[in-house]
Amino acid sequence: MLASIIASGLASGAIYALVGVTYNTMFSTSRVMSFTSGQLAMLGGVFGSMFTLKLGMPIFAGFLLTLLACAVIGIITEFVAVRPVLKNLDQHLYVLSTLALALMIQQVAAIKWGTEPQPFPRLIGWGSGVWDEKFWLPVVACALTIIGLEYLYRRTLVGRAFLAIAEDNFAARALGLPERNLRIASYALAGVIGGIAGFSGGELLLAFFANGALLNFYGFVPVALGGLGNNRGAVIGGLALGLFQQAANFLVGGIFSSVAVFTLFIVVLLAAPQGLFGSATARRV
């Protein structure tokens, strides 16, 4: 039982961590918390099942098309829900615009895909029991994604431009960096990360339109726990959340496991409002 809790907890936590990284990727270049992150992960599962099972494509081709489709949805998010409200960030209009787009995506998925969970194909066919691929695939996908992002941000000019925009977009514009194009690219990248989360976790979560709202919340918790903009903190927070959730589900079960998660979330925010790995922002007055 302990092995089952650890396996399912790490798998769920890796999915939550990837959704948290999706939040951070969009926030870094726009200072907008886009509540379409969970929907992107949901679409990763839906598109993956559609391309591989319904259309009969090979797994690799279905994976690439899933990432491409999610990247397009990410770009649409920037154009439709983010760009119109960037001049009024202090009014937090992006909360309404991104939530509205998230609801639209969810309802369209329900109409076109159906309201019942649909099966997701076995991707590799390795493992059984607690070593089944549905448990270790999300963990491997999360690890490879973080390694890839670290390489992008630290070793490439595009990644350093992302960091410059995230640090000070006004100074970056003054230096001639194409802020708008970089912001669009970051939203496409966020769509890819969300697609990886949904595709790698498809066997665990199935292809279900309602996963979007669930992942929106459970993906936001690692961001709050780890500190906004801190991908490493999001990974640690996501894995801790997954383990805690599965342990609570085993110990108290049902709705009470969600209550335990909410309680942990509130306690941590009361103790460290900036997150466990975030730094308090200082402002000269």
Kindly list the structural domains of the chain, giving each domain's residue range(s) and its CATH number in brackets, ordered by start.
1-271 (1.10.3470)
Q: pTM for this structure?
A: 0.91
pLDDT at residue 275, rounded to an integer: 65
Of the candidates 215, 20, 53, the one whose C-alpha atom is nearest the C-alpha of residue 123 is 53
Of the candidates 203, 259, 243, 213, the residue with the CA atom closest to the CA atom of residue 19: 213
Q: How would residue 150 be classed by pLDDT, with cut points 50, 70 and 90?
A: very high
pLDDT of residue 284 exceeding 50: no
> What average pLDDT does the segment 67-75 reach?
96
Supply φ then ψ for residue 132, to 5 degrees.
Answer: -60, 150
